[in-house]
Structure formats: structure tokens, C-alpha cells
A and B are shown apart, each in its own frame.
Chain A
């Protein structure tokens, strides 16, 4: 039983409150990623779940059991640290065995579990080496192996890939995902890297300033960010934000003017806005149609990645950078004027004061409901 329930969890270090009223339920077997900028409280939240940090208020249940006063060992969790925290004076085998020995497992059972974990992680050749005789990726696997042998209810990972080089990071990412499919155990994974979050998670928890901004599947968060922060944090390159004003309210959407004499149609709930209201429009780089009618976009430079191209520029007469994505090869001249048009259904509309996304048009909202 690996489901986890946090209710109104608060954490302060002295006068500094780093987590505010965190409510979160994580279902058994899910791969959940906590993502957010550095210092937002991800590690603290993870350490609270692990029992390495006391809470200042609220409750924690694992598998329906109140664990607030239980030690880390009693919570049946395992953790992979950013630094790996391998015992440097013990061989890989002893690192894996240490926890089981502490729990007074039988020697035969310990050996069987080590053999199983070593096989899963391809660690057999290294069992008698010391951690310092291993590469970064191998140490990482030992750290994971040390959690596996414990057979925990929940795996906790704190930025486990941040010490690996880029290629190894992609490979290990896939390995951890595979491991999750194989073990079907709840995993909670902390990262500041939104690509890791998007590619690995069943469910993403976006944290900012000690608060949960939004919880959902990667695509939910990508397609329907609840606010400007989530919209800006997920997706790479980041979403373009344009200032605009509602000029007309129709049946299924509204017309927004962002200047340049090209009114844009946004599909949001007409009841939620009034004509004349200021809004922010969010458009991802990939959601522009290039050519034909559209906003005047002056090219500054472009990055070609082979199969796709990012064009950086500004709207005519504006300073703010806008990024446009194009599939395939595309090499516009510097200073060229392009006409680009946001795809109507793909525009996000935010209230500039609260930063919250305005409710979408009716049919979209009900579709979103079914999703959840």
C-alpha cells in the first residue's frame, strides 16, 4: 500500500515558512514528479514525507497509516539522494545489505535480494567495489539498488540525475521509468527540470514559493495551465505572453486586441469577461501559423535543430522577444517580416491581476472534466 495523503502540511525553519498548507493525495503505484524552481520547497516536502524533517503543522498518512511520529525507517520508504549518499567505506554489496542487516533479515534473503537488484540494474560486476571505484552512473544505480532491496512502499528521489552528464541523464531517466513499470510501486521524484517532469510523470505537482500551483498529468498541465506560473514553467522554449484587451464578447469566445490591427479570437467562457478588460494571452511557440494573415513578426535570429527550427524575434515596433516554432528546415533572413497567427483553440487567456487562467469555453471545460 503506497498511497500517500498530505493534509495542510506546513513547514517553517524559524521565522521562515517554506511550505504553506500543502494538500496532496498520491494514489498507489503512481509516478509523481514534484517540479518547481530552485528553493521552492521540493526537497523539503520530500524530506518531510521521508521523515527526515519534522512538520510544523498538518498530517501525513501512508497507506492509511498516520506516520507523522514514525521514524524514516518505520515509514517503509526508500530514498535516493542527489549526492547518492553511498557509504564510502563499504563495498557495493555491503551498501545494499546494510538496511536489510539492520532489519535483521536472514542472510539467504539478503543475498537473494541483492542478487535480484544487481541483476535488474546490471550491477553484478561491481558488487565488490567501493563507491569511489565507480562512475557517476554506476553510483547512481547503486543508490537506486539500495532502495530496491528494501522493497519499500514508496520510492523517493531527490534530483537523482543532476550529477550526471546529459547523455547519461536521458538514459537513466528511461531506466527509472522502466523500473517503475516493472515494480509498480509509488515513486515520488523531485526535479527542477521540466523536461524530466514532462517525460517521466504520471502526475506532476508544480510547486512555487512553498505552495502547490497545480496538480495534473503532464498534458493537462501543458494544455490547461491553471495560471501564468505553470504556463511559463512547463514547455520549452517558454510560452509567449502578449498584453491585450478584450474588444468584443461573442457566443463561444471573445475577441482580443493585442495591437498591430489584427484581432485574435480566444475560446474562453464569455461569461467570465467583459469588453474592455485587460488580459494576457499565452501562446506556445509551436502554436503559431506562419504565413497569410497575422501579426507582424520581425526575425532576429533562428536556431535550427535539424528536424525543427526556433525563430526568435519581436513584433513590429515592440521590444519583447517572441519565439516561434516551425517544423523542419526554415531559415528566415535576419530582419525579415513574417506574418504569424496564433491557433485560436491553443491560446491561453490570463487575468493580469491574479495570474489565473480564465475559464475556457463550455465544450472545452466539459472535455477537461472527463479527463480528470
Chain B
């Protein structure tokens, strides 16, 4: 059997360090997700609404975030703000802010799509029953949109978790960075450690995202 370099994991506190790195990545993405989802819902409702000015502004915001590679956003959010405004925020906070901006934009577009996919007669039969606009949204449109949103937003959440691997570029020591450090430190003794460690990182990301996918499938079935 080839040496996969897994033995390095058992040395010292290596495994604990990797898990600590994973926690950093998850913390960033989970905080960003927790803020993005409600904010995205709010903006998505506005984007599906009638106010042209609000819609135009949100459209620009969405397109801007979409066009920018996430890496550029991270550089802009961390190094850019330090230079331009003299802000001295930690890399992790910068990452959370950037991921929140990104997640909110993507979420709002998903919400907008889900809302406008609800057929017009759903609004009309609700109004015909005497429900006002707010009640129609609250009891008829949003619950149906939510059901359509579940698989899409779960997909977004896993994408956000995966993309956190980029934050090592602005100096956040997350799981990938820890893996690199361990590989670096053991280059002489176990030259094969790279494969084993990246494999472990792969498994860790998988374990983090898999339950979320399962939950999505469960909810999809339950709410069909």
C-alpha cells in the first residue's frame, strides 16, 4: 500500500489543529449565512416589488457582487479598506463582511426568483378572499416561495462554506492554511503528507456539507 502520508495526522496535535481550522472556516460561513439569509429575504422581497428606484439600486448591487471574483472582493474588503479608509479590521471580520455581502446578494436573487415564480392567480384568489397585500405575502406567497427556495438556498450555503477556503489568501488561518502549515513542517520526514492532508481536508468539507444536503432533501420531500 502506498504511503498516503496519513500518519502525519496522528503526530502531535495535528488533527486538533485541522479541526480548529475547519471551525474557523465554518464560523465565518455560518455567521455570514445567518446574516445573509434574513437580509437576502428582505432585499429579495423588495426586488420583486414595484419600486423602480429600489429595484435599480439592488440590481446594481447584485451585478457588482456577481461580476467580482470572490477573491477580489476579499482583497478589496481587507487590504483595500485598510489602505483607503485606514480601517484596521481583522482578516476574519473582513471575510465575514465580504461573505455576508455576497451571500445577501445571491440570496436576494433566489428569493426574487422564487417570488415571481408564484402564479398570478395565487395573488388574485388571496385578494378575492379579502386578504390585504401584507397578509397575501405573509400567508400565501412567502410560504410557497420558501418551499421553492429550500434546495436553492441550501446550495448557496454549501457554496459559501466551500468558498471560505479562499480566506487563507487574506491571512485567515483556516483549515486549508493549517493543512499547508502541517505539510510544510513535515516536508523532510513525510514527503507524502500533502496527499493525505488534502484528502483529510476534502473529507472534512464533505462532512460539513453533507448533513446540510441531507436536510435539504428531507425538507424538500416533506414540503412537496
A and B: bona fide binding partners: no
Residues in chain B within 8 A of chain A (CB atoms): none
Residues in chain A within 8 A of chain B (CB atoms): none
